[in-house]
Amino acid sequence: MKKILVLGSGGQIGSELTMRLREVYGGANVVATDLNPERLTKSIQETGPTGKVDACQAQQIAEVVDKYNIDTIYNLVAILSATAEKNPMLGWNVGMGALINCLEISREKKCALFTPSSIGAFGPSTPLDGTPQDTIQRPQTIYGVTKVTGELLSDYYFKRFGVDTRSVRFPGLISYVTPPGGGTTDYAVDIYYAAVKGEDFVCPLKKGTLLDMMYMPDALNAAINIMEADASKLIHRNSFNVTAMHFDPEEIYSEVKKHYPNFKMTYEVEPIKQSIADSWPNWMDDSCARKEWGFKPEYDLPKMTKDMIEKLKIKFGK
Ligand code: NAD
Ligand code: SER
């Protein structure tokens, strides 16, 4: 049985991935940590070991790895795109600080390492329609620069030291447990919260802005399945394109309106978010992930919308 350390368990992905990992590998085998442990959900606190770890402090990670005999690290620590653009040094220091510590500890203590990359690893000179697995990566955000650097460093540690590094390029993730942490794709979560709460929604991206997206259950499966994949079948490692759907604000708005016909959305474009979104793929080709380790998402826009609304109604007692 794997012994897993999750760094950043309090975030949008960590709050759900930690619980899924505990279902699969057992509560005692998944140690949930965050710089801000007060962010850990009650379910996480009640189902296994937890702790405070600053991933930018190598010693703190190493102590937990030793204490629990950890063999696999899920490094979910980063500052998301829009927030990082407001404070680029923070984006760089947190993203790269956490990653280099994880890589070094994984090398010394022979851990496998998962660190998500992102659609943010691409830029305006990338082919934006059907973005290939292997293509131009010249992002224009600090977030993207950390993601490309992370992909390269992770492949370097695999090739040079044999560290079992694996990763996926997540698109915008949509979920209802923990709100997103300041990304460009957050609008696709916020729109559901507004609709269910009976509020109008102001969209920060303009009509026609296509972006790849995925519902959280598919993202959790991807994060677990890539780490379980047969290494001999992996041609790529850091990092695989994965996507489940792509849409623009009008398409998600129409889908939400099928459930809430009186729901109103207007536009107030936020220039930083718009320029980031314009530089990211309209849709990625994820055939390598499908071929090399069997990636297969289950949720499209209508199925996700139905489930999001049902879950948010329960959350808000509507
Ligand atoms: P998030 O911002 O929701 O959560 C990050 C967590 O890390 C927070 O709980 C925060 O307290 C914690 N943290 C911050 N600094 C830390 C430090 N120094 N040490 C330990 N913990 C620290 O992020 P997320 O959305 O869960 O993203 C997780 C990973 O997935 C990131 O690498 C992100 O770039 C990537 N990703 C996310 C999305 C998405 O849509 N959510 C899409 C693509 C890639
Ligand atoms: N959801 C993330 C962001 O917008 C994509 O990596 O920053």
Ligand nearest to the CA of 79: 1
Quick check: CB of 118 below 6 Å from ligand 2? Answer: yes
Taking 90 as the threshold, does the pLDDT of residue 122 lie above it?
yes
Query: Tell me, what's the pLDDT at 226?
Result: 98
CA of 8 to the centre of ligand 1 (A): 6
Tell me: pLDDT of 75 over 90: yes
Which of 68, 74, 143, 156 is an active site residue?
143
pTM of the predicted model as reported, rounded to 2 decimal places: 0.98
Phi/psi of residue 207, each to 5°?
-50, 145
Sorting pLDDT into bands at 50, 70 and 90, what band is 6?
very high
pLDDT, residue 1, reads 85
User: Can you say how many angstroms the Cα of residue 111 is from the centroid of all Cα atoms in its chain?
Assistant: 21
Give me the chain's average pLDDT, please.
98
* 162 burial via Cβ count (<10 Å: 0-12, 13-18, 19+): exposed
Query: Nearest ligand to the C-alpha of residue 181?
Result: 1
The span from the CA of 223 to the CA of 220, in Å, is 5
3-state DSSP assignment of residue 32: strand
Nearest CA to ligand 2 atom 1: 172
Residue 185 CA, ligand 2 centroid: distance in Å: 6
Name 260's Cβ contacts closer than 8 Å, sequence gap at least 6.
195
Give the number of other Cβ atoms within 10 Å of residue 272's Cβ. Answer: 14
Q: Which token pair is 190?
A: 């916020």
Unique residue bearing structure tokens 């990625």: 284
Q: Mean pLDDT across the stretch 294-298? A: 98
Ligand 1 lining (C-beta closer than 6 Å): 7-8, 10-14, 34-36, 39, 53-56, 76-78, 80, 94, 98, 116, 118, 170, 172-173, 180-181, 183, 185
Ligand 1 atom nearest to CA at 83: 2
Give the tens place of pLDDT for each residue, 234-269: 999 999 999 999 999 999 999 999 999 999 999 999
Based on the residue annotation, tell me whether 215 is a catalytic residue of this protein: no
Q: How many residues does the chain have?
A: 318
- pLDDT tens figures, 156-179: 999 999 999 999 999 999 999 999
Q: How far is it, in rounded angstroms, from Cα 294 to Cα 133?
A: 15
Q: Where are the beta strands (DSSP E) in the chain?
A: 4-7, 30-34, 50-52, 72-75, 112-114, 117-118, 129-131, 165-166, 168-170, 172-174, 201-203, 211-215, 240-241, 245-247, 265-267, 283-284
Instruction: Give the model confidence (pLDDT) of 42-70 as tens digits.
Output: 999 999 999 999 999 999 999 999 999 99
